[in-house]
Amino acid sequence: MKKTGKWILAFILLFTFVFDMPRTYAQAETVVVDTESLHIRSGPGLTHRVTGSLKNGERVNVLAASGDWLQIQSEHHEGWIASWLTSSDSTAEITVLEILSRVDGLNVRATPTTGSAVLARMNAGDKAIMTGQDGQWAAIEFNGIAGWVHTDYITETAMPTVTQTEEKHAITSKEPQSFTVAVNALNVRKKADLSSKRIALIQQGETYAIKEINGNWVRISIGGGKTGWVYSFHGTLSTNNLQSTSPDAEKTTTVTILTNGTNLREAPTTSSQIVTRADAGEKLTVIKEADDWYEVSLPSGETAFVANWVVSTDEEEVPLAKPTKKEKKARVPGTLKGLTIVIDPGHGGNDKGTTGARGTDEKGITLQTADLLASKLQAAGATVLLTRETDTYIALRKRVAISHQYEADAFISIHYDANPDSSIAGFTTFYTQSSQRELASAVNAGLGSAVSLRNRGTQPADYLVLRENKQNAILIELGFLSNPAEERAITTDIFREQATHGIYKGLLDYFNSNLE
């Protein structure tokens, strides 16, 4: 044989040996015989002699595989069988971990960090399925919502060992099947999006059958063969298969006035004649909706129109308690006691704001910053309200309405900036009305003393939350997410600590210099 032929033959033999080597299977993997009778052979192929046989339904352990053949072992047999005459073992035993909340109000968060949005809350004794772990955080599934909880506040228990078939049935049986409304009134939307068209309004205590769950949205049956989407945070999910309790007749819708002296007009426009005025807390029956206005029925029997940004249907997480007239008290220098401050974390929900060069969403870090600032101001004695506490969309006029409703001594809107020119950097404090300039200057000076960013100073700007605000209001842009280097710096915990301290110091200086 020629030398070249020897090399070719050697290569073929090596190729056959390497690629026909049995591959080892994971320990304890099993298959089930899926034919009337299955021969066990001495090797991986039909040419090998038969050493035994298996019956339909018999279960055997797999040791290795070679091509379409499996090396198996059972109590009485060992050898090779054809894989195409078997099926995977659907009754393999698995262990499911269950967690139990040890406290009331345990936050279920979107990501494994205390700064992320709260998706739901667990009370002491509530159970959830644990699906993973990241350090001191456990990934769980609770009432159809996937999120994270801190392991310091839970107890892990192993559920009874079940088979895969049983587990599938068990999980299915635990899926929420009904949704009960927990707020006064809740909009049902055409799509799973807060900006989607509203198709119905449902009331507190009503229960609806669940058709589908998509993240934090639930599709429910609303009668007449129709379905719609609601935000799961505004209700309770239950495994009880209850029928919808909604009547077939049209529901009565009410709205709640947010601000004292709200104008009720003859037509759905701000230029129309004022019919009367309503105060915070008053409820009015809605006759119909017209764009951004509600036509409402008055106690006198007349009808009038009210703008949807000065009322609430309780869908949004807005404090609705009727405020009491504040009594002016002499304050002690060095504290914020007796003051009401509204903090407005910019954007939220389907409005994510700007996205940084490195992928940071503005809506997330404005909320983290606002939470930290709120804790500092509360520690100094202030009464603090946030326009949003979770990742939800709140209309701009609704944010202003909260400022008016609670007669805020200061309204602070928190944002992060962006510009097509990625070299631009620094923080800016904005005001619109001349009466807001002094507050803007004080807070800007406080920030400048606390952070190392370029100070772009105070600047006038036409922002709705400042322009329409009757209270003392400013808007802060805490650096540029469009600048990669600055984004890296301003998304850190230490920057938020410094920035919120600077804002606190600026507020303290402003109110100390304006003591009555």
Report the residue count for the chain: 516
Identity of the residue numbered 303: T
The pLDDT of residue 514 is 79
Top-confidence residue, 459 or 71: 459
SS3 258: coil
Pairing of strands 455-460, 427-431: parallel
Express each pLDDT in 322-352 by its tens digit: 444 455 555 667 788 889 999 999 998 888 8
- Position 293 scores a pLDDT of 81
389, 392, 398, 401: CA torsion to nearest 10: 0
Specify the pLDDT at position 144: 62
Per-residue model confidence (pLDDT) at position 252 = 60
* 274-278 and 455-460 strand pairing: unpaired
CA dist 313 and 183 (Å) reads 9
- Collapsing DSSP states into helix, strand and coil, what is residue 308? helix
SS3 382: coil
- pLDDT 10s digits, 44-62: 777 678 888 888 888 888 8
Structure confidence at residue 509 (pLDDT):
92
- For residue 37, give the amino acid letter: S
Is residue 53 within 8 Å of residue 37, measured between CB atoms? yes
Architecture of the structural domain at 178-238? Roll (2.30)
Segment 371-395, tens digit of pLDDT: 899 988 988 888 899 988 888 888 8
For residue range 467-505, what is the model confidence (pLDDT) as tens digits? 999 999 999 999 999 999 999 999 998 999 999 999 999
Which has more confidence, 264 or 447? 447
End-to-end CA distance of the chain: 111
pLDDT-derived band at 203, boundaries 50, 70, 90 = confident
User: What's the pLDDT tens digit per position in 145-195?
Assistant: 777 888 878 877 655 444 444 443 333 334 667 788 766 667 788 887 766
Q: Examine the pLDDT at 288 and tell me if it is beyond 60.
A: yes
pLDDT of 392 reads 82
Please report which confidence band the pLDDT of residue 453 belongs to, taking 50, 70 and 90 as the band edges: very high
CATH class entry, domain 94-174? mainly beta
Using CA atoms, how far apart are residues 330 and 337, in angstroms rounded to an integer? Answer: 9
Distances (CA, A) of 453 to 35, 150, 392, 456: 73, 34, 30, 9
340-512, what's its fold?
Answer: Aminopeptidase (3.40.630)
Residue 246, pLDDT above cutoff 50: no
- Structural contact between residues 466 and 342, judged by C-beta atoms closer than 8 angstroms: no
Looking at 2.30.30.40, 3.40.50.620, 3.40.1160.10, 3.40.50.300, the CATH number of the domain 253-312 comes to 2.30.30.40
**CATH superfamily name and code, 23-89:** SH3 Domains (2.30.30.40)
Is 359 within 8 Å of 487 (Cβ atoms)?
no
- List every span in the chain annotated with CATH 2.30.30.40: 23-89, 94-174, 178-238, 253-312
Q: Where exactly does CATH 3.40.630.40 map onto the chain?
A: 340-512
For 64-98, what is each residue's pLDDT tens digit? 776 667 888 877 778 888 877 777 665 544 445 78
Asked if residue 136 has pLDDT above 60, the reply is: yes
What does the pLDDT read at residue 4?
53
Rounded mean pLDDT, 129-142: 78
* pLDDT of the residue at 469: 93
What is the structure's pLDDT at 104? 73
Q: Is the pLDDT of residue 243 over 50?
A: no
Do strands 127-134 and 118-122 pair parallel, antiparallel, or not at all (unpaired)? unpaired
pLDDT of residue 167: 40
Residue 12's pLDDT band (boundaries 50, 70, 90)? very low
Radius of gyration of the chain from its Cα atoms, rounded to whole angstroms: 32
Range from 89-93, 133-137, 308-312 carrying the lowest mean pLDDT: 89-93
The backbone region for 124, taken as left when phi is positive above 0, alpha when psi lies in -120 to 50, beta otherwise, is beta
* Residue 259 pLDDT grade (very low, low, confident, very high; cuts 50, 70, 90): low
